[in-house]
């Protein structure tokens, strides 16, 4: 438990057990008062700001800005759409992580709740996986992250012989199939250095400098190629990318994801003749 006492420079949150004093920063806009009190109490209760950040799906830097520095925008005053939207999403994640009403917490910061803001809140709540089926989706994403991490540890491809090597190869295959089925693929698109050096997948443009993506081929990522490094069929790759688009672009239907994937693939070097390959099954 904590108590709040007014002081000459603002509020002070004091732990009843005699713990450290957390002072409300003077620079903090009044609209963030309630959010600061909620976070200050949670911070004291969890005894670890890193754990609190992980629970709320925000960075420790964001918590530092609110709790210590007061370096946040005054949402009761005009702000850019980007700034306002970013903080609506951040406040929504805080509410989801602490089991609070997100719209009410956003409103307390000075943001009016219109249809656009409501959609933004609802979308972020789905991403946060707050309870029910969305909670299951969040757990699936966490398992996908774990599967990708284990798969990266197993690379480069297993070369050991005997039962150990075979078990390792089977585990690699199972993890790849799981990641493809959940859409947790293509975690990072290639940037300038990869494009200049040619270290990118010609099928989906993901970086080949990451061990998480690299397979036997120096032209295609593991998601777009088979165990020998050969490019998969257009239909197989489209299925992989459709899963990825649905995981990446929350809220779209499978049909819409497939339509976007078709346009995306047409821009890839490997699929300049996509329509012909889809018709032929190649």
Q: Are strands 21-23 and 2-7 parallel, antiparallel or unpaired?
A: unpaired
3-state SS track over 207-220? ECCCCCCECCCCCC
- Is residue 106 over pLDDT 90? yes
Q: Are strands 21-23 and 10-15 parallel, antiparallel or unpaired?
A: antiparallel
Higher pLDDT, 138 or 196: 196
What would the pLDDT profile of 218-277 be if each residue is shown by its tens digit?
A: 899 888 898 889 999 988 888 888 887 776 666 778 888 888 888 888 888 888 877 666
- Is residue 54 over pLDDT 90? no
Roughly how many angstroms between the first and final C-alpha of the chain, as a whole number? 65
Whether the Cβ atoms of residue 168 and residue 154 lie closer than 8 Å to each other: yes
Question: Which two three-digit tokens encode residue 200?
Answer: 């990118």
What would the pLDDT profile of 120-173 be if each residue is shown by its tens digit?
A: 898 888 876 643 334 434 444 445 545 555 555 454 444 556 666 666 666 656
Quickly state the pLDDT bin for 11 (edges 50, 70, 90): very low
Give the per-residue pLDDT at 150.
52
Whether the Cβ atoms of residue 187 and residue 162 lie closer than 8 Å to each other: no
Whole-angstrom distance, CA of residue 95 vs CA of residue 85: 15
Neighbours of 1 (CB within 10 A): 8
Please state whether the predicted TM-score (pTM) of the whole model is above 0.85: no
Give the per-residue pLDDT at 15.
37
Whether the Cβ atoms of residue 217 and residue 227 lie closer than 8 Å to each other: no
- The three-class DSSP label of residue 173 is helix
């Amino acid at each position: 438990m904590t108590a709040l006492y007014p002081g000459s420079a603002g509020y002070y949150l004091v732990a009843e057990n005699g713990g450290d004093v957390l002072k409300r920063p003077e620079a903090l806009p009044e609209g963030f008062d309630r959010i600061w009190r909620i976070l200050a109490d949670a911070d004291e209760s969890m005894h670890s700001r890193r754990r609190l950040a992980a629970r709320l799906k925000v960075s420790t830097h964001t918590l530092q800005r609110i709790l210590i520095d007061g370096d946040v925008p005054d949402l009761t005053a005009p702000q850019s759409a980007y700034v306002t939207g970013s903080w609506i999403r951040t406040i929504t994640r805080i509410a989801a992580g602490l089991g609070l009403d997100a719209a009410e917490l956003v409103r307390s910061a000075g943001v009016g709740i219109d249809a656009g803001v409501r959609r933004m809140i609802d979308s972020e709540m789905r991403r946060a996986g707050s309870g029910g089926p969305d909670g299951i989706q969040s757990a699936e994403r966490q398992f996908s992250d774990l599967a990708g991490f284990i798969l990266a540890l197993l690379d480069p491809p297993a070369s050991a012989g005997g039962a150990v090597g075979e078990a390792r190869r089977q585990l690699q295959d199972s993890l790849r199939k799981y990641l493809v089925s959940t859409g947790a693929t293509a975690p990072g698109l290639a940037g300038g250095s990869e494009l200049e050096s040619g270290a990118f997948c010609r099928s989906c443009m993901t970086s080949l400098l990451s061990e998480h993506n690299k397979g036997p081929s120096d032209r295609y990522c593991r998601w777009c190629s088979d165990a020998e490094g050969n490019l998969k069929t257009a239909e197989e790759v489209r299925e992989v990318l459709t899963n990825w688009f649905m995981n990446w672009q929350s809220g779209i239907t499978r049909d819409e994801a497939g339509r976007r994937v078709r346009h995306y693939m047409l821009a890839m070097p490997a699929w300049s003749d996509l329509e012909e390959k889809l018709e032929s099954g190649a």
